[in-house]
Amino acid sequence: MPKEIYKTSGINIFGKRIKSLIFSTDLAIIKNHNADGVIAVYPFTPQIAINQAIIEISSSPVFVGVGGGITTGQRSIDIAINAELNGAFGVVMNAPTPNELISEMKKRLDIPIIITIVSAKEDFESRIQAGASIFNVSGGNKTYEIVKTIRERHPLFPIIATGGPTAKDISNTIQAGANAITFTPPTTGDLFSEIMDNYRDKM
C-alpha cells in the first residue's frame, strides 16, 4: 500500500483498526497484499458464492457488496445475512440504496452497513438515521470535496474514500477528513507483464 495511507486515523471495527482497503475481487491479489482489509464490490448481481470465496481466501477483514441498486429488497438482505454468517466484517451498499432498505438491514445485522456516497448533494443525515455505520465516498475527482463536506457536517462519522491515482491525491483526501483509504491495485496482467519483461531482459 502507498505509505501515505497510513497517515489516516483509521476506523476501529471489531477491535481491528482499518486504514487501508484494497479494492479487488481478484483472488490472487486478495491473497497477496499488505492492506488492512478488502473491499469487494463488483458491477454484477451480488453472488453468495463469490462472497464466500473471497472471505475464505482472505487473511484480512473483508467488506462485501450486497447490492442496493439493481439488486435490492429482500435479496440484498439475504445476501448480507449470509455474508455476516460467513465472516464478513461489513457490507457495502450502492449509492441508490433506499433508506428503508438500510433500516430493514440494520435490524438483522450486527456488522457495519457501509453506504456508498457519490455526491456532495446526498442527504447524509437521513443515511445516518437509517442505520448506515460508515460512508464509502467514491466521487471520482470530486471525492476530496465530498469528504470535506461530510466532515464539516459530521466531525466524527467514519469515512472511507477512494484515494486516487497519486500520492498527492491520497494525502489530499486524508487531509479532507477520510479515516480510511481504498486503493485499486494493478491487475495481475499488469504485474505479470513487468515480470515477463524482466525475464526477457535476462535472456
Q: Which pLDDT tens digit goes with each residue over 42-51?
A: 888 889 999 9
pLDDT at 195 over 70: yes
Least confident range from 97-101, 119-123, 185-189, 190-194: namely 190-194
pLDDT at 199 over 70: no
Using CB atoms within 10 Å of the CB of residue 146, give its burial: 0 to 12 exposed, 13 to 18 middle, 19+ buried: buried
What is the greatest pairwise CA distance in the chain?
Answer: 62
- Provide CATH code, domain 3-202: 3.20.20.70
**Measuring CA to CA, how many Å separate 176 from each of 20, 92, 129?**
16, 22, 23
Q: What H or E segment, with its residue span, contains residue 148?
A: helix 143-153
> Domain spans of the chain?
3-202
The CB density around residue 29, as the number of other CB atoms within 10 Å, is 18
Contact 14, 43 (CB under 8 A): no
Phi then psi dihedrals of residue 101, to 5 deg: -70, -40
Report the chain's mean pLDDT, rounded to a whole number.
Answer: 93
Contact 114, 91 (CB under 8 A): yes
Q: What H or E segment, with its residue span, contains residue 38?
A: strand 37-40
pTM above 0.85, yes or no: yes
